[in-house]
Amino acid sequence: MVKIKNYLSLVKFSHTIFAMPFALIGFFLGIKSKPLAFSLQPLAIKFFLVIICMITARSAAMAFNRYLDRSFDEKNPRTAIREIPKGIISANSALRFVILSSVIFVIATYFINSICFYLSPVALFVILFYSYTKRFTFLCHLVLGIGLSLAPIGAYLAVTGVFAILPILFSFAVVFWVSGFDVIYALQDVDFDQSQKLHSIPSTIGKASALKVSELLHLASAACVIAAGVYGNFHWIYWIGILIFIGMLIYQHSIIKPNDLSKVNIAFMTANGIASVVFAVFVIADLFIH
């Protein structure tokens, strides 16, 4: 049990709360688009496989990031307590965990449908490639956002086997939302990143300007969920969800200042966790109540 707890900590399992709700949105959008095409039992199996894919893909990406960044984590006081620098989990064990998670992910996609299986290497490449990006581009935040944005599209494909505009709009919302809050999170490491020649928006343009960029990214995310609401002809329940989602975006920016980062974790985890979960509940409720 202790070892399992260590691996859950390694991959920050609690952070699954960010992308999982949007995967559920994609899944139920798929059901709503083809309501007569499925029986309950196959849907339950497919739902289970989608959850497995979400967990294993994210676990592979996070563990790979910890494996690749282990030398930087050792030097950074904020991250030196992580499992690999502290010797709780060896680097080789973390890499084996990445490989195992990736294999399970691909196997799960095989049992979902052919398009998910064929696209699984592409998805793995995107989410694993993110770990390299901080070494050469300040746009690393957008790559992380793209990785998490695969959740609603992938879940929709799992159910329908085809692409559609509505889940893509939700995916764009995820890109800008995740990029925006990752910029806020990166504010903590500006000095360290600059000393190690690592790239991020805050270390490139400074904290104050980075916060402005984060605000613009979150404005773009809000625009995407509004566009999805209009395009999808959603009802009043959805719009209540949008108000809460946008309210959480505004709240996190209200508590973060360039010279006061004491509430970064509240903005990063609490506000965004509430935003994603509550928004998903309202979207799914709107889909099936009306």
Does the pLDDT at position 131 exceed 80?
yes
If one counts the domains in the chain, the total is: 1
Q: What is the per-residue pLDDT for 203? A: 96
147 CB burial (10 A radius; 0-12, 13-18, 19+)? buried
Instruction: Quickly list DSSP for 247-269.
Output: HHHHHHHHS-BTTB-TTHHIIII
Q: Inform me whether the pLDDT recorded for 96 exceeds 90.
A: yes
CB 171 within 8 A of CB 141: no
pLDDT score, position 38: 55
pLDDT (0 to 100) of residue 197: 95
> With bands split at pLDDT 50, 70 and 90, how would you rate the model's confidence at 289?
confident
Q: Are 18 and 175 in contact (CB under 8 A)?
A: no
Q: What's the mean pLDDT when you consider all of the chain?
A: 93
Where residue 273 sits, what CATH number does that domain have?
1.10.357.140
Q: What is the pTM of this model?
A: 0.94
**Residues sharing a CB contact under 8 Å with residue 253, sequence separation 6 or more, in sequence order:** 211, 214, 215, 218, 267
- Domain carrying residue 244: 2-289
Provide the pLDDT for residue 36.
Answer: 53
| pLDDT in the model for residue 43 | 84
Which range, of 86-95, 218-227, 255-264, averages the lowest pLDDT?
255-264
- What dihedral angle (degrees, nearest 10) is formed by the CA atoms of 212, 216, 221, 227? 160
Q: How many CB atoms lie within 10 A of CB 1?
A: 5
Percent of the chain with pLDDT over 90: 82
Tokens for 193, please give them.
């990143």
Q: What is the pLDDT of residue 33?
A: 84
Q: Which residue has the tokens 């600059």?
A: 194
Residue 24 is predicted with a pLDDT of 96
pLDDT band for position 37 (cuts 50, 70, 90): low
| 155, two tokens | 């879940």
pLDDT of 151 over the 70 cut: yes
Distances (CA, A) of 241 to 60, 227, 279, 285: 31, 14, 5, 10
